[in-house]
A and B are shown apart, each in its own frame.
Chain A
């Protein structure tokens, strides 16, 4: 082996430990998809379990009850992701109008304070929700004191408006942080363009509509495309901490459903089957939106 080759190998050896970590924790779990084809019962080894082929996939749609449940879960997933997607312009709007405020200190203050919720965990968010909205929480004792209600309203146990309230919490947590990208983009808009428009007598709303927003749209589209690709991946943490016996039917998104199936009722194999389908659909979605973005905007996101 030449000296050059040896050196290039030496460089590679230095990163091997890290490559091994990636293989173990990101690629090896793909092998875990095998469980979807076996009748896996936890204490046993996979090798001792019966191979059942596509049984679990078929079982997903085997009875009316199961189909109904799956449809409800899909409805929840689509509703929550749909709400997020449908309001994905909110952070942009937040940034645009924040920029209209002339007081620099006030602007910085708002920016700092509204990004803070992004850095607390969902458990914390739930704990805050609990303090404010449970039966003895802030809002209930306030409403009872001023005599608007006699018995506490069980906000957190409500089975109505679950999609909407979950969207509210998500927005409370993410809005300010999501706006940061747009705030930075706004500060890179050519100031001369704005001044020229102003000299021509444009009002603020006209400047926003014809200059600011058009220059933010590229950023918006990239994020939108990523959002679409993640349509099925809501994550489970938010919904897990907020779920209870009353709102369970409406809060179970796919990720949570997978968890509840496996950890709650021991259906490891069937839940692996679902999560496998979900991952494949997500991957296909990612390629489709990437392709679409290439065709429409001439830019790929991957």
Chain B
């Protein structure tokens, strides 16, 4: 799309001015509503816990300390949950990106046997759904319940990501592949040597979508896993939100005993533990998001045109 920015230095009417002022006000409120909750939680995790517990931390942190974060990682099960979250994000993303790129390329190969049929077979899965319980029951028969691969295998082929990459591959000039084939390159060599280098932008988009969805996934744990060792951060946090008091004592028992006054400020409360874990889970997304925003936008645009 062409982004021609022309400055209109025309006389603006009072009505037009009013429209713009109202817009500024409304969008400032919208931005505040979206940002403040994250900010509120963040400043409360680094403020003295006794002040925070009184509800006094609204706009600026007070008596900044980082004990909440140090003790969060002493909570039993949390480092393990972090590891699971990280593993499923890294492995799941890598496999999805590879599968999407490879299939996106292969489904442009007109010589493939029954190509259209197989492509439709994959894409059709976007429009129907057996339902979660039938899905759970067959996952169980395949022994993918209480199994780490239950997080990974179902996510590898994603029709949405496939459409994204296939559309992108189609925009690559056919001559590139033809020239390589003249030099004797097989289809795999073409894919790895010729196609991958030029479709990197769309692979980045798929990587971001997939990483966010793996990091945020909750429902599959709920359905498939009862083994607490396989719980990711999202699930552990959800449990903490629902079981109240035991949590704070869990964190406290492991923190060192200091003088009483200091203890009040740094002693973990249920609320402080919850908020701290929330920040730990949200922070990676907050950090990565602004950098990759353009990839998201590109992805949704291609998806919108083709989907």
Contacts and interface: CB of A to CB of B under 8 A. Distances in A.
Interface of A: 4-5, 7-12, 14-15, 18-19, 21-22, 24-33, 35, 94, 97-98, 100-102, 104, 106, 109-110, 112-117, 119-124, 126-128, 130-132, 136, 138, 140-142, 144-145, 172, 175-177, 180-181, 184, 187-188, 191, 195, 198, 203-205, 219, 233, 236-237, 240-241, 255, 258-259, 262-263, 268, 271-272, 275-276, 278-279, 282-283, 286, 302
Contact of B34 (A8, A28, A114, A188): A114
Given A259-B132, A275-B134, A8 B278 contact: no
Contacts, number: 256
A31 B58 CA distance: 54
A279 B131 contact: yes
A22 B157 contact: yes
A222 B138 CA distance: 34
Given A236-B132, A275-B133, A278-B131, A98 B27 contact: yes
Contacts of A283: 127-128
B103 A25 contact: no
B216 A121 contact: yes
Given A14-B187, A131-B40, 4 more contacts: A21-B157, A22-B125, A121-B281, A123-B238
B54 A28 contact: no
Contacts of B58: 138, 142
Contact of A272 (B1, B33, B134): B134
Contacts of A175: 30
Contact of A102 (B20, B130, B157): B20
Nearest to A226: B307
A194 to B, nearest CB: 9
B40 A11 contact: no
Contacts of B188: 14
Interface of B: 1-6, 8, 10, 13, 15-16, 19-20, 23-24, 26-27, 30-31, 33-35, 37-38, 40-41, 44, 53-55, 58, 99, 102-103, 106-107, 109, 111-114, 118, 121-122, 125, 127-138, 142, 153-154, 156-157, 187-188, 212, 215-219, 222-223, 234-235, 237-238, 241, 271, 274-275, 278, 281-282, 285-286, 289-290, 293, 296-297, 300-301, 304
B300 A26 contact: no
A263 B225 CA distance: 12
B106 A124 contact: no
B165 to A, nearest CB: 13
The DSSP consensus for interface residues of chain B is: helix
Contact of B133 (A113, A119, A141, A271): A271
A172 B33 contact: yes
A112 B293 contact: yes
Contacts of B223: 263
Nearest to B122: A22
Contacts of A272: 131, 133-134, 137
B89 to A, nearest CB: 13
A276 B285 contact: no
B223 to A, nearest CB: 8
A257 B123 CA distance: 28
Given A138-B55, A241-B238, A32 B135 contact: yes
Contacts of A286: 127
Contacts of B238: 123, 126, 241
Contacts of B134: 29-33, 35, 272, 275-276
Contacts of B34: 113-114, 116-117, 172, 176
